[in-house]
Structure 1
Amino acid sequence: MPGRQHSREFKLEVVSQINSGQRTTAQLSREHALAPSLIHRWRKEVEARGVAAFTDGAATDRSAELRIAELERHCGQLSLENSILKKSLSTYRSTSGTK
Protein backbone atom coordinates (compact mmCIF):
# COMPACT_ATOMS: atom_id res chain seq x y z
CA MET A 1 0.00 0.00 0.00
CA PRO A 2 1.63 3.24 -1.10
CA GLY A 3 1.88 6.17 1.28
CA ARG A 4 0.43 9.61 0.86
CA GLN A 5 1.54 11.84 -1.97
CA HIS A 6 2.72 15.31 -0.98
CA SER A 7 3.09 18.18 -3.40
CA ARG A 8 6.46 19.69 -4.17
CA GLU A 9 5.29 22.99 -2.65
CA PHE A 10 4.28 21.29 0.60
CA LYS A 11 7.64 19.56 0.93
CA LEU A 12 9.55 22.78 0.23
CA GLU A 13 7.39 24.65 2.74
CA VAL A 14 8.04 22.06 5.46
CA VAL A 15 11.80 22.18 4.81
CA SER A 16 11.86 25.98 4.71
CA GLN A 17 10.04 26.20 8.06
CA ILE A 18 12.69 23.98 9.62
CA ASN A 19 15.62 25.75 7.96
CA SER A 20 14.34 29.18 8.99
CA GLY A 21 13.81 28.06 12.58
CA GLN A 22 10.06 28.70 12.55
CA ARG A 23 9.32 25.12 13.63
CA THR A 24 11.21 22.01 14.60
CA THR A 25 11.07 18.64 12.90
CA ALA A 26 9.15 17.25 15.86
CA GLN A 27 6.53 20.01 15.68
CA LEU A 28 5.95 19.56 11.95
CA SER A 29 5.95 15.80 12.34
CA ARG A 30 3.12 15.98 14.87
CA GLU A 31 1.23 18.73 13.05
CA HIS A 32 1.15 16.95 9.68
CA ALA A 33 1.37 13.32 10.89
CA LEU A 34 4.69 12.81 9.13
CA ALA A 35 7.51 10.53 10.16
CA PRO A 36 10.58 12.50 11.26
CA SER A 37 12.70 10.31 8.96
CA LEU A 38 10.59 11.46 6.01
CA ILE A 39 11.20 15.11 6.86
CA HIS A 40 14.93 14.42 7.20
CA ARG A 41 14.88 12.75 3.78
CA TRP A 42 13.19 15.85 2.32
CA ARG A 43 15.82 18.09 3.91
CA LYS A 44 18.62 15.99 2.42
CA GLU A 45 16.95 16.18 -0.98
CA VAL A 46 16.80 19.97 -0.77
CA GLU A 47 20.43 20.10 0.39
CA ALA A 48 21.55 17.90 -2.48
CA ARG A 49 19.47 19.31 -5.31
CA GLY A 50 18.47 22.79 -4.17
CA VAL A 51 15.82 24.33 -6.39
CA ALA A 52 15.54 21.14 -8.47
CA ALA A 53 14.42 19.11 -5.46
CA PHE A 54 11.26 17.06 -5.92
CA THR A 55 11.06 17.63 -9.68
CA ASP A 56 10.50 14.91 -12.23
CA GLY A 57 14.21 14.61 -12.87
CA ALA A 58 14.42 15.61 -16.56
CA ALA A 59 17.05 18.23 -15.78
CA THR A 60 18.78 15.81 -13.45
CA ASP A 61 18.89 13.18 -16.19
CA ARG A 62 20.66 15.59 -18.53
CA SER A 63 23.19 16.63 -15.89
CA ALA A 64 23.76 12.97 -15.04
CA GLU A 65 24.40 12.22 -18.72
CA LEU A 66 26.93 15.04 -18.89
CA ARG A 67 28.62 13.80 -15.72
CA ILE A 68 28.81 10.26 -17.09
CA ALA A 69 30.33 11.51 -20.35
CA GLU A 70 32.89 13.53 -18.38
CA LEU A 71 33.80 10.49 -16.27
CA GLU A 72 34.08 8.27 -19.36
CA ARG A 73 36.49 10.76 -20.95
CA HIS A 74 38.52 10.86 -17.76
CA CYS A 75 38.57 7.05 -17.59
CA GLY A 76 39.81 6.90 -21.18
CA GLN A 77 42.55 9.39 -20.40
CA LEU A 78 43.65 7.40 -17.37
CA SER A 79 43.64 4.20 -19.39
CA LEU A 80 45.86 5.81 -22.03
CA GLU A 81 48.26 7.15 -19.39
CA ASN A 82 48.37 3.74 -17.70
CA SER A 83 49.25 2.07 -21.00
CA ILE A 84 52.04 4.58 -21.66
CA LEU A 85 53.44 4.10 -18.17
CA LYS A 86 53.40 0.30 -18.53
CA LYS A 87 55.28 0.52 -21.82
CA SER A 88 57.79 2.95 -20.33
CA LEU A 89 58.34 0.69 -17.33
CA SER A 90 58.90 -2.39 -19.48
CA THR A 91 61.35 -0.42 -21.67
CA TYR A 92 63.19 0.83 -18.59
CA ARG A 93 63.41 -2.67 -17.12
CA SER A 94 64.73 -4.16 -20.36
CA THR A 95 67.41 -1.47 -20.77
CA SER A 96 68.53 -1.53 -17.15
CA GLY A 97 68.83 -5.31 -17.04
CA THR A 98 66.43 -5.91 -14.12
CA LYS A 99 63.51 -8.15 -14.84
Structure 2
Amino acid sequence: MNGRVHTRECKLAIARQLANGEKRPAQICREHNLASSVVSRWRNEYEQRGEEAFSPPSSSGPASVEARIAELERFCGQLALENALLKKALGKLP
Protein backbone atom coordinates (compact mmCIF):
# COMPACT_ATOMS: atom_id res chain seq x y z
CA MET A 1 0.00 0.00 0.00
CA ASN A 2 1.47 3.30 -1.03
CA GLY A 3 -0.73 5.49 1.18
CA ARG A 4 -1.84 7.98 -1.46
CA VAL A 5 -4.93 9.97 -0.58
CA HIS A 6 -7.22 11.11 -3.37
CA THR A 7 -9.65 13.97 -3.02
CA ARG A 8 -13.38 13.50 -3.24
CA GLU A 9 -13.41 15.53 -6.45
CA CYS A 10 -10.78 13.29 -8.05
CA LYS A 11 -12.69 10.15 -7.14
CA LEU A 12 -15.97 11.61 -8.43
CA ALA A 13 -14.35 12.70 -11.69
CA ILE A 14 -12.96 9.22 -12.28
CA ALA A 15 -16.25 7.54 -11.36
CA ARG A 16 -18.19 9.88 -13.68
CA GLN A 17 -15.84 9.14 -16.57
CA LEU A 18 -16.44 5.43 -16.05
CA ALA A 19 -20.21 5.82 -15.67
CA ASN A 20 -20.49 7.98 -18.80
CA GLY A 21 -18.34 5.60 -20.79
CA GLU A 22 -15.79 8.32 -21.54
CA LYS A 23 -12.93 6.06 -20.48
CA ARG A 24 -12.43 2.40 -19.78
CA PRO A 25 -11.20 1.15 -16.40
CA ALA A 26 -7.84 0.04 -17.79
CA GLN A 27 -7.27 3.49 -19.28
CA ILE A 28 -8.08 5.17 -15.94
CA CYS A 29 -5.68 2.80 -14.15
CA ARG A 30 -2.84 3.67 -16.52
CA GLU A 31 -3.44 7.43 -16.51
CA HIS A 32 -3.70 7.75 -12.74
CA ASN A 33 -1.43 4.85 -11.76
CA LEU A 34 -4.22 3.15 -9.81
CA ALA A 35 -4.91 -0.50 -9.08
CA SER A 36 -7.92 -1.94 -10.86
CA SER A 37 -9.43 -2.90 -7.49
CA VAL A 38 -9.40 0.75 -6.41
CA VAL A 39 -11.08 1.91 -9.59
CA SER A 40 -13.64 -0.87 -9.28
CA ARG A 41 -14.38 0.06 -5.67
CA TRP A 42 -14.85 3.73 -6.59
CA ARG A 43 -17.14 2.82 -9.49
CA ASN A 44 -19.29 0.60 -7.26
CA GLU A 45 -19.50 3.29 -4.59
CA TYR A 46 -20.59 5.84 -7.20
CA GLU A 47 -23.19 3.46 -8.63
CA GLN A 48 -24.64 2.83 -5.18
CA ARG A 49 -24.59 6.33 -3.71
CA GLY A 50 -24.34 8.65 -6.71
CA GLU A 51 -23.15 12.17 -5.99
CA GLU A 52 -23.13 11.44 -2.25
CA ALA A 53 -20.30 8.96 -2.77
CA PHE A 54 -16.99 9.69 -1.07
CA SER A 55 -18.58 12.15 1.36
CA PRO A 56 -17.50 12.04 4.97
CA PRO A 57 -19.86 10.16 7.30
CA SER A 58 -22.96 11.96 8.51
CA SER A 59 -22.52 15.05 10.62
CA SER A 60 -20.77 14.56 13.91
CA GLY A 61 -22.81 17.10 15.82
CA PRO A 62 -23.67 16.67 19.49
CA ALA A 63 -26.98 14.92 18.70
CA SER A 64 -25.33 12.22 16.59
CA VAL A 65 -22.59 11.71 19.18
CA GLU A 66 -25.18 11.26 21.92
CA ALA A 67 -27.14 8.84 19.73
CA ARG A 68 -23.99 6.82 19.09
CA ILE A 69 -23.18 6.71 22.82
CA ALA A 70 -26.73 5.53 23.59
CA GLU A 71 -26.44 2.83 20.93
CA LEU A 72 -23.13 1.62 22.36
CA GLU A 73 -24.52 1.60 25.91
CA ARG A 74 -27.47 -0.54 24.78
CA PHE A 75 -25.09 -2.91 23.05
CA CYS A 76 -22.89 -3.11 26.15
CA GLY A 77 -25.95 -3.93 28.28
CA GLN A 78 -26.98 -6.66 25.87
CA LEU A 79 -23.50 -8.19 26.01
CA ALA A 80 -23.54 -8.09 29.82
CA LEU A 81 -26.85 -9.99 29.85
CA GLU A 82 -25.53 -12.57 27.41
CA ASN A 83 -22.36 -13.01 29.50
CA ALA A 84 -24.39 -13.54 32.66
CA LEU A 85 -26.59 -16.10 30.91
CA LEU A 86 -23.59 -17.98 29.53
CA LYS A 87 -21.85 -18.03 32.93
CA LYS A 88 -25.00 -19.40 34.53
CA ALA A 89 -25.29 -22.09 31.84
CA LEU A 90 -21.63 -23.05 32.26
CA GLY A 91 -22.10 -23.37 36.00
CA LYS A 92 -24.78 -26.02 35.48
CA LEU A 93 -22.56 -28.24 33.33
CA PRO A 94 -21.04 -31.28 35.07
TM-score (norm. length: structure 2):
0.58
User: Which aligned runs of 4 or more in structure 1 are off by greater than 2 angstroms?
Assistant: none
In the alignment, the residues of structure 2 paired with residue 2 and residue 51 of structure 1 have an alpha-carbon distance, to the nearest angstrom, of 27
Residue 50 of structure 1, CA deviation: 1.6
- Structure 1: where are the runs of 5+ without partners? 66-99
- Which has the greater radius of gyration? 1
Letter in 1 for 2:26: A
Residue correspondence of structure 1 range 1-99 to structure 2 within 5 A: 3-58=3-58
- Structure 2: where are the runs of 5+ without partners? 68-94
In the alignment, the residues of structure 1 paired with residue 3 and residue 28 of structure 2 have an alpha-carbon distance, to the nearest angstrom, of 18
Q: Secondary structure at the match of 2:16?
A: helix
TM-score (norm. length: structure 1):
0.55
In the alignment, the residues of structure 1 paired with residue 47 and residue 22 of structure 2 have an alpha-carbon distance, to the nearest angstrom, of 18
In the alignment, the residues of structure 1 paired with residue 45 and residue 37 of structure 2 have an alpha-carbon distance, to the nearest angstrom, of 12
Letter in 2 for 1:5: V
Over the matched positions of the two proteins, sequence identity in percent amounts to 44
User: In the alignment, which residue of structure 2 is the partner of 1:77?
Assistant: none
User: In the alignment, which residue of structure 2 is the partner of 1:85?
Assistant: none
RMSD value, Cα: 1.9
Pick the structure with more helix per residue: 1
